[in-house]
Structure 1
Amino acid sequence: MVAVKTMVEGGKATTGPPLGPALGPLGLNLGQVVKDINEKTKNFAGMQVPVTVNVIDPATKKYEIIVGVPPTSALLKKELGIEKGASKKKEKIAGNATLEQIKKVAESKRSALLSYNMKGAVLEVLGSAVSLGITVDGRDPKEVQKMIKNGEIEI
């Protein structure tokens, strides 16, 4: 079995690089593969999505497509409707999320995170919010993390 792993923009994969050069020599119908990828990733429009194309049998050209979860930063940006994080996190704020939005991102990303429970997942997403310059309910995400750890905020 041959596996081709790459990142594609949700719903906008093309037969060009990186997919074309990797899959072309295997004799697959690139148009169909790209169509299938775009169908499976259309809900992640505007985000980079990890995709793996497993060529199960090159002789029969049978393949499967596995779509991963986009990076936490991409999910946060989509949730807040922002294009990019703050360039200077201490001076500028890229956006403000509610704790519910943070929980929503944590839930959608949960399977790919290292945490054992929802509390840990929320803490991880808050870490990404720090990196992007996103506040949570008007507070610094580090402050919210402390409040969760101290039990002041229940998850």
Structure 2
Amino acid sequence: MSRFKGSVRLYCMAGAARPSPKIGQALGPLGLNMMQFCKEFNDRTAEIRPDVPLRVLLKAYEDRSFKFVTKPPPTTWFLKKASGLESGSGAPGHRSCGRISIKYIYEIAKVKQETDQHLQFHDLEGIVRMICGTCQSMGLDIVEDTLPPKKINIDL
């Protein structure tokens, strides 16, 4: 490998990266081939659903070679999917936009711990606390997972 030239952070949909102005603006100044990146990214993420946005950390080198690491979607994406919302509250802390069960937060934390290299050695409770902070900044209320009310037999 030659010397390090620069690094870029991108968001790309899994298995569906296409040459676009966004990717071109990121890779162009580094002198990288956009088609080569798209092909390698799509090959590496082919088994993931195409509607999943992935974070990409790309390192470019002076000989026009590159390495990239894909990271899981942002926590907000998971929370929006779990709560069925399009976006968070316009006034978090003042107005709530929805609710999410603590059970889903634990599931999101497990996925993040397994797939994100930087979170592999954090304990699950710490990751849950981070996700709860994201819920608060989005205006999501965290609720306990309660069972539906039992049917009471009223036959006399």
Q: What corresponds to 2:82 in structure 1? A: 79
Q: What corresponds to 2:141 in structure 1? A: 135
Match of 1:33 among 37, 53, 59: 37
Q: Secondary structure at the match of 2:96?
A: coil
Write the distance in 2 (CA, Å) between the matches of 1:85 and 1:115: 29
Q: What corresponds to 2:153 in structure 1? A: none
Q: Quick check: which has more Rg, 1 or 2?
A: 2
Query: Which 5+ residue runs of structure 2 have no aligned equivalent?
Result: 146-156
Structure showing greater relative contact order (alpha-carbon pairs closer than 8 Å, 6 or more residues apart): 2
Query: Which 5+ residue runs of structure 1 have no aligned equivalent?
Result: 140-155
Write the distance in 1 (CA, Å) between the matches of 2:85 and 2:27: 34
Q: Deviations over 1:116-140 (max 9, x none)?
A: 311111111111111111122269x
- What does residue range 16-95 of structure 1 map to in structure 2 within 5 Å? 16-24=20-28, 28-39=32-43, 40=45, 43=49, 45=51, 47=53, 49-55=54-60, 58=63, 61-90=64-93, 92-95=95-98
Q: What corresponds to 2:154 in structure 1? A: none
Q: Secondary structure at the match of 1:89?
A: coil
Residue 76 of structure 1 and its aligned partner are, at CA, apart by 1.1
Moved more, 16-25 or 72-81: 16-25
Residue 108 of structure 1 and its aligned partner are, at CA, apart by 2.3
Residue 99 of structure 1 and its aligned partner are, at CA, apart by 1.4
Q: Is the 8 A contact 1:54 1:63 kept in 2?
A: yes
What is the TM-score when the length of structure 2 is the normalising length?
0.65
1 or 2, which has the higher helix percentage?
1
Matched letter for residue 84 of structure 2: G
Write the distance in 1 (CA, Å) between the matches of 2:25 and 2:134: 33
Q: Deviations over 1:86-110 (max 9, x none)?
A: 1233454322211121011112223
Q: Is the 8 A contact 1:9 1:45 kept in 2?
A: no
Query: 2:16 matched to 1:10?
Result: no
Residue 113 of structure 1 and its aligned partner are, at CA, apart by 4.8
Q: Percent identity?
A: 25
Write the distance in 2 (CA, Å) between the matches of 1:44 and 1:129: 25
- Count of matched residue pairs: 136
> Root-mean-square deviation (CA), in Å?
3.2
